[in-house]
Amino acid sequence: MEDAGKAYWYAVLRLVGIILAIWFFVSYGCGILWAQALNSIKLGGYPLGFWFAQQGSIYIFVALIFIYAHLMGKLDEKFDVHEE
């Protein structure tokens, strides 16, 4: 039982790490580091770097919440710790 618990927490921490890495990449990378390079691309009439800094990272964050909830539900079912 202890091994299953460790495997579950490893999977949870891995999922959280991946979600946070994606959020960091989008918010910091696309919104700040590569904003000048992305500004050559237009999205809805606005430079893409500006869009990521102002709105895109928020949209991605909200999408990641739903993705996390879905994947966490599958993970809970896989390790049989889901709620009925």
Q: Where do the structural domains in the chain lie, given as residue ranges?
A: 2-78
Report yes or no on whether pTM surpasses 0.75: yes
* Residue 27 near residue 64 (C-beta atoms within 8 A): no
Average pLDDT over residues 12-18: 97
The predicted-structure confidence for 37-81, as pLDDT tens digits, reads as follows: 999 999 888 899 998 888 888 999 999 999 999 999 999 999 988
Look at residues 62, 66, 32 and name the one whose alpha carbon lies nearest to residue 49: 32
Write phi, then psi, for 42 (nearest 5 degrees). Answer: -105, 140
Alpha-carbon distance 53 to 43, whole Å?
A: 13
